[in-house]
């Protein structure tokens, strides 16, 4: 087909139907490649950003929000222009001129301090449809607080906004958030809070969740996944249920997952695997890692961490857990959805559990990448920086994974084992290796917004002739803390066959995700994929 004919035909969407292949469970251990050539690697981005980021989120402006607790005494970076925080309820420094939050720019690795007023220790959050981050709860004077930050560029015009009147109805320390299809925020759980609520509340009060009422412990930071039918899958400790939040009814419960407790303080992690075909595929939940039920109460024993992962299809008629072993046992690991729909499991320890000082040991320095289609793990090169309690990992648009934080101590402590970590790294998966430059796609024309179930066009350049389908995925930007990324989700979009428009430039028509149950309205990273290699991502607003 000529370039002119291709241009005329471009925009006529063709659905791509793939046959389901038989899945064979295999355990693969390799040392650095992802199976497509190239080498995974690490890069040190900043030697000292000034705070240990307990909570991390990537904004649609490209800046990365770092946030720590406020009641630990001074950090190693001061607020700008002589600004100080005066708070008589602070447990450490009532007059504090240092910053406990900042914006990190991965384009040039620069930092800009931010001012947060009340204590955000072990709080929760998620981005709203307009890209504003809503941040909820914390400790002491922050336990009922609601905070916002609307991202901005490098001009420094944005900072935290906090209301003294718009408050949570219950104190939330170690809670979890989920953006709902209608734009409301669902806030669940926390220490001594087996309830959920909505923001805005619209006059609705608190609702009890029996799953949390029955646990009492090992249920903090519960895992929440919005299912494509609009219900919520909720997991705590080793049990789970489906909640219809519209009727406030538990409509389904599930078998107990084998093995160890998975939530705080045992710190497994969870993702919902990428939804296929624009969100029409059956959802599947993956939960990996954890710690012995004995570990938090007996730190001298340093019990081995969990080595198991479980997969569950919650909307099946009679679902049950499919279990397999990881190559490296792990607690406090972070799970990051990569643009190619594989799962990076990174950070954490191989013994003990979450907690201060010597609660955990034997850092898990090697990440692993999990291929959910092949059911295989691949061990990646090790970092030299232990990332233990209070560490984070977040996907950047360019496909790297930003790794920050780690503080096993009540205050910043730079002596002894596992000191407070102020360095920032990037894990660079094998698909970022320049060896893939000849097949790596690049957007040359793209939308800034994608509408539900509606076609949109992109143009992608590829140095070598395209081979097969050029895929499109959208990936949310979660609020990451305590080994769980709140709101993390990915959708593989329905695409047409690529059409050659001109030399090395191809047109692809994609269809937006099916509806807001599949992808709540917000900003997402859009990636093109060719031969499994992702492009640099661009931000689009799904609406």
The tens digit of pLDDT for each residue in 24-49 reads 223 333 333 334 689 999 999 999 99
Residue that has been written with the tokens 């594989």 in this structure: 342
Contact 373, 22 (CB under 8 A): no
CA distance 235 to 223: 5
Would you state the torsion angle of the CA atoms of residues 536, 55, 489, 261, taken in this order, to the nearest 10 degrees?
A: 140
What distance in Å separates the CA atoms of residue 441 and residue 178, rounded to the nearest whole number? Answer: 32
Q: Angle at the Cα of 65 (from 429 to 392), degrees rounded to 5? A: 45
**The dihedral sign for the CA sequence 354, 321, 178, 112:** positive
Q: How many helices (H) and strands (E) does the chain have?
A: 2, 44
Give the number of residues written for the chain.
543
pTM recorded for the entire structure: 0.93
pLDDT averaged over 10-residue windows placed end to end, the chain, 543 residues: 40 30 29 61 98 98 96 94 92 93 96 96 98 97 96 82 92 98 97 95 95 85 98 98 98 98 96 96 97 94 98 97 98 98 98 95 98 98 98 98 97 94 98 96 97 98 95 98 98 97 97 98 98 97 97
HEC profile of 395-416: ECCCCCEEEEECCCCCCCCCCC
The DSSP symbol for 448 reads S
Looking at 59-143, which runs of residues are DSSP E strands? 64-67, 85-86, 95-96, 101-105, 110-114, 124-127, 133-136
Phi-psi region of 375 (alpha: psi -120 to 50; beta: other; left: phi over 0): left
Euclidean distance between CA atoms 252 and 244, whole angstroms: 9
pLDDT at 36: 62
Q: How far apart are CA 515 and CA 280, in angstroms?
A: 10
Q: What is the largest CA-CA distance in the chain?
A: 72
Strands 538-542 and 449-450: parallel
Paired with 470 in beta bridges are 530
pLDDT at 6: 41
Q: At residue 316, what are phi and psi to the nearest 5 degrees?
A: -65, 160
**Amino acid 215: pLDDT:** 75
Provide the pairing of β-strand 95-96 with 533-534. unpaired
The SS3 call for residue 431 is helix
What is the DSSP secondary structure assignment for residue 214, as one 8-state letter? T
Domains of the chain, CATH where assigned: 3-23+437-542 (2.60.40.10), 41-432 (2.130.10.80)
Q: Backbone phi, then psi, for 324, in 5-degree steps?
A: -155, 165
Integer Cα distance of 200 and 187 in angstroms: 11
DSSP three-state, residue 210:
helix
| pLDDT at site 154 | 63
Please tell me the predicted confidence (pLDDT) of residue 21: 27
Residue 49 region by backbone torsions, left for phi larger than 0, else alpha for psi between -120 and 50, else beta: alpha
Tell me what pLDDT residue 37 has: 80
pLDDT score, position 29: 32
Q: What angle do CA 380, 386, 390 make, to 5 degrees?
A: 110
């Amino acid at each position: 087909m000529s370039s002119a004919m291709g241009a005329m035909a471009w925009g006529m969407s063709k659905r791509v139907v793939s046959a389901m292949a038989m899945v064979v469970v295999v355990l693969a251990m390799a040392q650095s490649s992802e199976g497509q050539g190239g080498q995974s690697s690490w890069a040190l981005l900043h030697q000292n950003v000034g705070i240990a980021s307990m909570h991390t989120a990537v904004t649609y402006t490209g800046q990365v929000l770092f946030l720590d607790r406020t009641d630990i005494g001074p950090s190693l970076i001061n607020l700008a222009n002589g600004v100080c925080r005066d708070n008589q309820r602070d447990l450490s420094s009532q007059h504090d001129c240092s910053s406990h939050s900042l914006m990190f720019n991965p384009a040039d690795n620069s930092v800009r301090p931010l001012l947060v007023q009340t204590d955000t220790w072990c709080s929760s959050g998620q981005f709203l449809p307009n890209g504003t981050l809503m941040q909820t709860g914390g400790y002491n004077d922050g336990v009922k607080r609601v905070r916002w930050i609307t991202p901005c560029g490098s001009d420094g015009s944005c900072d935290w906004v906090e209301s003294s009147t718009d408050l949570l109805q219950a104190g939330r320390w170690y809670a979890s958030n989920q953006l709902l299809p209608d734009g409301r925020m669902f806030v669940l759980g926390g220490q001594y809070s087996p309830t959920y609520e909505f923001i805005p509340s619209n006059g609705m009060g608190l609702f009890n969740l029996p799953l949390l009422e029955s646990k009492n412990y090992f249920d903090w930071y519960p895992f929440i996944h919005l299912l494509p039918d609009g219900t919520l899958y909720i997991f705590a400790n080793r049990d789970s249920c489906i909640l219809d939040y519209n009727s406030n009814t538990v409509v389904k419960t599930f078998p107990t997952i084998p093995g160890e407790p998975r939530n705080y303080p045992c710190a497994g992690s969870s993702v919902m695997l990428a939804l296929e075909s624009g969100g029409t595929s059956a959802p599947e939940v993956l939960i990996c890692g954890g710690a012995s039920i004995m570990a938090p109460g007996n730190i001298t024993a340093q019990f081995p961490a969990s080595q198991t992962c479980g997969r569950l299809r919650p909307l099946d008629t009679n679902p049950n857990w499919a279990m397999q072993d990881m190559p490296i046992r792990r607690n406090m690991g972070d799970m990051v959805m990569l643009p190619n729909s594989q799962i990076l499991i990174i950070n954490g320890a191989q013994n003990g559990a979450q907690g201060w000082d010597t609660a955990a040991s034997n850092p898990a320095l090697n990440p692993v990448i999990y291929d959910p289609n092949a059911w295989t793990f691949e061990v990646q090169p090790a970092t030299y920086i232990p990332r233990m309690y209070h560490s984070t990992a977040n996907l950047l648009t360019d496909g790297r994974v930003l790794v920050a934080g780690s503080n096993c101590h009540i205050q910043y402590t730079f002596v002894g084992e596992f000191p407070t970590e102020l360095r920032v790294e990037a894990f660079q998966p094998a698909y970022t290796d320049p060896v893939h430059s000849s097949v790596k796609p690049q957007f040359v024309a793209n939308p800034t917004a994608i509408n539900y179930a509606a076609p949109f066009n992109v143009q992608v350049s590829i140095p070598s002739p395209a081979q097969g389908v050029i895929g499109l995925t959208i990936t949310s930007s979660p609020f990451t803390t305590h080994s769980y990324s709140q709101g993390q989700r990915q959708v593989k979009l329905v695409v047409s066959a690529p059409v050659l428009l001109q030399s090395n430039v191809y047109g692809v028509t994609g269809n937006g995700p099916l509806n807001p149950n599949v992808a709540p309205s917000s900003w997402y990273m859009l990636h093109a994929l060719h031969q499994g290699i992702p492009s640099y991502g661009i931000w689009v607003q799904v609406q």
